[in-house]
C-alpha cells in the first residue's frame, strides 16, 4: 500500500536528524525532540477519571510514574506503559495524551513510567526501572486501587523493547503470574538486526538506520550487550511461558520484520500472539493519532486487546 498521504505530509514537515549526529549532544537532541513533540500534541488533555503522579520504589532509587484511572471503575486492570524515544528521549509528558486515550478506551488504569534515559544511564538501567515498576505495582495494587491479578505491560519502540524484556525477566525470576499480557508497539527487539525491512525502509521513513545505530550506541555501554536477551528479546533462546502478546507493526518501518518474527516465535513457543501490520504507516505513527485514522484504529485495537485479555476473555486471553 502507498505511504499514507497525511503521514507523508507529517514526514515532509518534520526536521531531519542532524547530518552529523556527533555535532549535537544527546541532551540537546532530547530537549529539541521533547519540545517538538509537546509543541504539537502537548496541549491535548483527553478526559480521564483521575491523574496522579506516583513515586515507585526501585532498586536504584525512586522512579517517577504517572497513574491514569478510568471513570467509574472499581479496581480496574492496570497497564504499565513505557514510552518510546530510542532510550534517549521522550517522557511521561510526551506520551500523556496516548496514555489518557488508552485508559479511557480500555477501561484500565495506566501507569506511565519515567525510566532512566541513556547515555547518562546505560543498559540495563532502563530495564531495571521497567521491571521494578511493574513488580512494585503488583505489590502496591491495593494502594493504587487496581486489580493485582490483571496487570499488563505495553510500550512503543524502545518502550516495546522494555515491555518484552520485563516479560522475559519476570518469567526468568519465577514471576510468570505477575504480567498477564504484553503489547509491543513497533518494538525494537534485536540490536543487531539484519532483516530486509531494516535496509528497505532505513532512510526517508521517520526512523532512519543511522539514527537507530546512534540510539544503540547511546544505550549500550558494551557492544557485546547487544546479544543479551534483556537488550534484544528476539535473541532469547526460549520464549515459552511468556504472557500473551499483541505486536503492532508498520508497513514502512525498518523494525517491522523483527516485530513480526518475534510474534511468530512466540506462537511457535506456545504463547498466544497476534501481529497486526498497519499498511501505509511508518515507525512512530501512533503518536500522530489526532491526524491519522490508522493511529486511532491502532489505539482502539490495543485498548480492546488489553480489556479483553486482562478480563479473561477475547482473542488474547490465555
Helix (H) / strand (E) containing 39:
helix 26-41
- Residue given cell 502537548 in the structure block: 42
The catalytic residue among 157, 165, 167, 197 is 157
Residues 154, 151: Cα–Cα separation, whole Å: 10
Residue among 144, 162, 159, 49 at smallest CA distance from 106: 49
Residues 110, 288: Cα–Cα separation, whole Å: 20
Asked about 156 being catalytic, the answer comes back as no
Asked about 232 being catalytic, the answer comes back as no
Asked about 157 being catalytic, the answer comes back as yes
**Residues, the chain:** 318
Distances (CA, A) of 196 to 21, 137, 158, 216: 25, 38, 20, 19
The catalytic residue among 147, 212, 253, 257 is 253
Residues whose CB falls within 8 Å of the CB of residue 88, separated by 6 or more in sequence, listed in order: 26, 29, 30, 117, 118, 119, 215, 218, 219
DSSP string over 130-162: HHHHHHHHHHTHHHHTS-TT-EEEEEETHHHHH
Catalytic positions are 157, 253, 283
Amino acid at each position: 500500500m502507498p505511504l499514507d498521504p497525511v503521514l507523508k505530509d507529517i514526514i515532509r514537515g518534520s526536521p531531519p536528524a542532524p547530518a552529523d549526529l556527533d555535532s549535537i549532544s544527546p541532551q540537546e537532541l532530547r530537549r529539541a525532540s521533547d519540545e517538538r513533540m509537546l509543541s504539537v500534541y502537548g496541549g491535548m488533555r483527553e478526559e480521564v477519571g483521575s491523574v496522579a503522579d506516583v513515586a515507585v520504589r526501585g532498586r536504584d532509587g525512586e522512579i517517577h510514574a504517572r497513574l491514569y484511572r478510568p471513570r467509574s471503575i472499581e479496581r480496574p486492570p492496570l497497564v504499565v506503559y513505557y514510552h518510546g524515544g530510542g532510550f534517549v528521549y521522550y517522557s511521561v509528558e510526551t506520551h500523556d495524551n496516548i496514555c489518557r486515550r488508552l485508559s479511557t478506551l480500555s477501561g484500565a488504569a495506566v501507569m506511565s513510567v519515567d525510566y532512566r534515559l541513556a547515555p547518562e544511564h546505560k543498559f540495563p538501567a532502563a530495564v531495571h526501572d521497567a521491571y521494578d515498576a511493574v513488580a512494585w505495582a503488583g505489590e502496591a495494587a491495593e494502594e493504587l486501587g487496581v486489580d493485582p491479578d490483571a496487570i499488563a505491560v505495553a510500550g512503543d519502540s524502545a518502550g516495546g523493547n522494555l515491555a518484552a524484556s520485563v516479560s522475559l525477566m519476570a518469567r526468568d525470576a519465577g514471576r510468570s503470574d505477575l504480567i498477564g499480557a504484553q503489547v509491543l508497539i513497533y518494538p525494537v527487539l534485536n540490536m543487531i538486526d539484519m532483516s530486509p525491512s531494516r535496509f528497505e525502509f532505513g532512510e526517508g521513513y521517520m526512523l532512519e538506520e543511522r539514527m537507530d545505530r546512534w540510539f544503540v550506541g547511546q544505550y549500550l555501554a558494551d557492544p557485546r550487550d547487544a546479544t543479551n536477551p534483556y537488550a534484544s528479546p528476539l535473541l532469547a533462546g526460549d520464549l515459552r511461558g511468556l504472557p500473551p502478546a499483541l505486536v503492532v507493526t508498520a508497513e514502512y518501518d525498518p523494525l517491522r520484520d523483527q516485530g513480526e518474527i518475534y510474534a511468530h516465535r512466540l506462537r511457535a513457543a506456545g504463547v498466544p500472539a497476534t501481529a497486526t501490520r498497519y499498511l501505509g504507516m511508518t515507525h512512530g505513527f501512533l503518536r500522530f493519532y489526532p491526524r491519522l485514522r490508522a493511529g486511532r484504529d491502532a489505539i482502539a485495537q490495543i485498548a480492546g486487546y488489553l480489556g479483553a485479555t486482562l478480563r479473561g476473555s477475547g482473542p488474547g486471553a490465555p
